[in-house]
Chain A
């Protein structure tokens, strides 16, 4: 994706990172006899954009599911900010500071855009049903959360669909609302599962810009799965390539791009 914006970004992209925020070490995941992940390991620097790529069935989404607590690794460890959190549940993972979007949009279809993004604030508020039922003192909190969420709505430029039920929105906007819900959690790490799948070029550029802006403005670490190689190579600081559940390459985009195993995995033997 050779747009002006991404090229401009490329030229200034000499980025130094300090510590690891997420360390995945020797993870195995089995479903009966199927080995979804075998001895996969990589480390994500705090503040970088990290991509997981690979052909279909490579285990990318499985990897994301392990990180977000849906799947349990049968072996291996996952450390977040240096602390082992391998066996945490999805809800605990969310409260540690992980937010995630799904490949097939997972919005709450019966609720408005605003309410969907407001649900992202649940981890940040102490909710008390009595105070909410009386609307006192919950009112102040509701208004404070609303102000925060309006900031996200402005950021994602979705003001006009604020009160529309998300089930009625087109696909591209739904993806954006889902990103908004994840951002409302003020995550330390944002996990994006194919944020640009099924979008046209313009929508992809928008989404890429949002991802870069989130990374720049809030310093959020981004881990994303994406099939569009142009996007991946443009915006990632590091890339891990999976194939058949195994890690075949790991490093900066330029190294990965020229790796023989990667070319073979994508193009076959030649």
Chain B
């Protein structure tokens, strides 16, 4: 009834293979993007744009990166935090030492650094599978963070080991007054550092994430995505039809790490504003793994739904608790209760729908299609 595919006939393969073949989906995506671009800046709420939406986007992007590797290519990784750290500290050093480069290019370069590191730590995947691979990727987590902790150069010899995002404009110092690109100066807004407005940071994050998510969507429905899923579903059969296992797996590690690296860079520059290695510890890697398990393995949208669940649950519980009345719950009890509900909800969702929110959304679509009839 509400979600009808009937009557949407495709008369050509290009139309049938479009990124969103259904008109309903196209309209939905455009609506969500419009709301995402217009509503938060209009509301002017710093809380909504910063801790809520930017955080959601940053972790959604990291989850998307891990989902490409784990959900699509079937390679379990616990090194997400490490790869994010490479992106974060890589981008920090790029901005610090080469302020001429536009920030978006810095993000891409930081992603490429993470990709290179990801490929190195992906090499064991040729021999190791499943849980054993997960343990092998822990090496990246510990090794990378150890380096960032112990080599002061990465944090510019900050005594606390904290990398604080310097002030940077969208197009870098080349576009400042008198620079070779100064015709860009009027739109060269400050997007990082203490002087950046929440709107600028939010819009930049949103744009980067939207572009990368669309690219990922294209990637997974093309030959690369098919090769990944083939390796995931049946590696022997994949080899027999001519898929090169090493190349395919390493490409998955590279692209996944690229996404995680960009997410790490966004974390420092547009979300928190600074980072030390604790921000990218093992707990972070686990949290992002939870996001894709709860959201749905092998689903682009699921990555963001899972991230939304994990990011939004604590503030939601807080609001519920505060509505119970002042003094009903002590601060300490609330903090503990939050963890209990959090863990309980995860177990509940996994038991009810092990395939995650993405599968739930499919079921909802089925129901909407048939409404008001039960089947």
Contact of B19 among A135, A145, A147 (CB under 8 A): A135
Q: A94-B242, A146-B17 are in contact. Are A132 and B223 (CB under 8 A)?
A: yes
Given contact pairs A129-B255, A133-B218, A135-B19, A122 touches B241 in the complex (Cβ within 8 A): yes
CB nearest neighbor in B for A178: B237
Size bracket of the B interface: 20 to 34
A143 touches B234 (CB 8 A): no
B229 and A91 form a contact (CB under 8 A): no
Cα–Cα distance between A68 and B19 once the two chains are bound (Å): 36
Q: Is A99 an interface residue (CB 8 A)?
A: yes
B:249-305 near A, CB below 8 Å: 251, 255, 298
Instruction: Check: B9 CB closer than 8 A to any chain A CB.
Output: no
Cross-chain contact of B240 among A94, A109, A110, A145 (Cβ < 8 A)? A94
Is B222 touching A185 in the complex (CB atoms < 8 A)? no
Residue numbers in B under 8 Å from A90 (CB-CB)? 236, 239-240
Would you call A68 and B240 a contact (CB within 8 A)? Answer: yes
Q: How far is the CA of A3 from the CA of B242 in the complex (A)?
A: 37
Mask of A37-73 contacts with B, CB within 8 angstroms, 1/0? 0000000000000000000000000000000101000
Contacts of B222 in A (CB 8 A): 127, 129, 132-133, 135, 138, 142
Alpha-carbon gap, A182 to B230, bound state (A): 14
In the complex, the answer to whether B241 meets A99 with C-beta atoms within 8 Å is yes
Instruction: Decide yes or no: A129 and B243 within 8 Å by CB, A135-B19, A139-B14, A143-B13 being known contacts.
Output: no
B206: shortest Cβ distance to chain A, in Å?
A: 19
Across-interface contacts of B245 in A (CB, < 8 A): 91
Residue of B16, B224, B240, B244 near A129 (CB, 8 A) is B224
Separation in Å of the B44 CB from the closest CB of chain A? 35
**Once the chains bind, are A110 and B241 in contact (CB under 8 Å)?**
no
Counting CB contacts under 8 A, is A106 at the interface? Answer: yes
Cβ–Cβ contact B17 & A107, under 8 A:
no
B175 within 8 A of A: no
Contacts of B69 in A (CB 8 A): none
Of A113-121, A168-176, A198-206, the one touching chain B: A113-121
Q: How far is the CA of A110 from the CA of B298 in the complex (A)?
A: 9
Q: Is there contact, CB below 8 Å, between B226 and A146?
A: no
How many CB-defined contacts (below 8 Å) exist between A and B?
115
Q: Does B112 interact with chain A (Cβ within 8 Å)? A: no
Do A108 and B229 form a contact, CB below 8 Å, given A132-B223, A133-B218? yes
**Within 8 Å CB of B19, what residues of A?**
135
Question: Number of A residues whose C-beta is below 8 Å from B?
Answer: 42
Do A133 and B244 have beta carbons less than 8 Å apart?
Answer: no
Report A183-226 CB contacts with B as 1/0, cut-off 8 Å: 00100000000000000000000000000000000000000000
Q: Are A106 and B215 in contact (CB under 8 A)?
A: no
Pick the contact of A120: B225, B229, B236, B241 (CB < 8 A). Answer: B241
**Cβ of B224 and Cβ of A132 under 8 Å apart?**
yes
Nearest-CB distance from B22 to chain A (Å)? 13
CB distance from B355 to the nearest CB of A (A): 11
Query: CB distance B216 to A133 under 8 Å?
Result: yes
Task: Check if A100 is an interface residue, CB within 8 A of chain B.
Answer: yes
Instruction: List chain B residues, Cβ under 8 A from A109.
Output: 233-234
Given contacts A133-B219, A138-B222, contact A115 B229 (CB under 8 A): yes
Contact assessment for B234 and A133 in the assembled complex, using a CB-CB cutoff below 8 Å: no
Flag whether B359 is at the interface (Cβ < 8 A). Answer: no
B232 CB–A CB distance under 8 Å: yes
Q: Which A residues touch B240, using CB under 8 A?
A: 68, 70, 90-91, 93-94, 99-100, 106
Q: Is B227 an interface residue (CB 8 A)?
A: yes
In the complex, whether A20 has a CB less than 8 A from a CB of chain B is no
The answer to whether A121 and B239 have CB atoms under 8 Å apart is: no
Q: How far is the CA of A120 from the CA of B234 in the complex (A)?
A: 14
Chain B residues with CB under 8 A of A95: 242
For B236, what are the chain A residues with a Cβ–Cβ distance below 8 Å? 70, 90, 106
Chain B residues whose CB sits within 8 angstroms of the CB of A145 once the complex forms:
223
Q: In whole angstroms, how far apart are the Cα atoms of A119 and B243 in the complex?
A: 9
* Distance in angstroms between the alpha carbons of A236 and B19 in the assembled complex: 46
Q: What is the chain A residue whose CB lies nearest that of B223?
A: A127
Q: Complex: how many Å from CA A185 to CA B243?
A: 12
Q: How far is the CB of A31 from chain B (nearest CB, A)?
A: 17
CB-nearest residue of chain A relative to B244? A91
Q: Could you list 9 examples of A-B contacts with CB < 8 Å?
A: A90-B239, A91-B242, A107-B233, A108-B232, A111-B230, A127-B222, A132-B219, A138-B222, A145-B223
Q: Which 10 A-B pairs have the closest CB atoms?
A: A94-B242, A132-B222, A123-B242, A106-B237, A108-B233, A127-B223, A133-B215, A90-B239, A146-B13, A135-B218
Known: A70-B236, A138-B218, A185-B241. 18 other contacts (CB 8 A): A68-B240, A89-B239, A90-B240, A91-B245, A95-B242, A106-B234, A107-B234, A110-B233, A110-B298, A115-B229, A129-B224, A129-B255, A132-B218, A133-B219, A135-B218, A142-B17, A142-B222, A185-B242
